[in-house]
Amino acid sequence: MKYSALHTPNSTLFKNYDLTQKGRLRAMLKFAIRKLLVMAITVILISVAVFYIITLPPGDFLTNYIGRLNAAGGSIDPALIARLREQYGLGQPVFTQYSCLMSGILLHGDFGYSFSWSMPVTKVAGLRKLDDEEE
């Protein structure tokens, strides 16, 4: 098969491209940076959407947890409820709650506390990872 002049780097087809090694590296770097920015924006948008969906039901998780506890015949001290609301910022606007959650995750690696499992989320995730590896 014979190639035409269009397939050579010196042809007019490639005249707008910098085919030197420096040009290729620059293009690759621009591509990687663009992909990383798109990834970061996607992660942020997904985290905002998930947080918003979690806050849509009436009340908050603590209110639901107390309701389930009362339905099961248990009780909880009102001072403890007030302290937990203050600790987790449940009386604050949703934006403030989200920014506190994200700053805890990004700055301290603190994913919060699981009321369902009664332990930090990082330990719950670690336990589930170990369970998956055993299977």
C-alpha distances (whole Å) from 107 to each of 100, 101, 102 are 10, 10, 8
Token couple for 120:
């930090």
Q: Residue 30 pLDDT more than 90?
A: yes
Highest-pLDDT range among 47-51, 76-80, 90-94, 110-114: 47-51
Cα gap 48→6, rounded to integer Å: 49
Alpha helices in the chain (DSSP H): 21-55, 61-71, 78-88, 94-103, 121-134
* Interatomic CA distance for residues 42 and 30, integer angstroms: 18
Mean pLDDT of 15-30: 78
For the segment 77-110, what is each residue's pLDDT rounded down to a tens digit?
888 888 888 888 888 888 998 998 899 888 988 8
Chain length of the chain: 135
Residue 73 backbone zone (phi > 0: left; psi -120 to 50: alpha; other: beta): left
d(CA 4, CA 1): 10
pLDDT reported for residue 42:
98
* Cα–Cα distance measured from residue 5 to residue 10, given in angstroms and rounded to the nearest whole number: 8
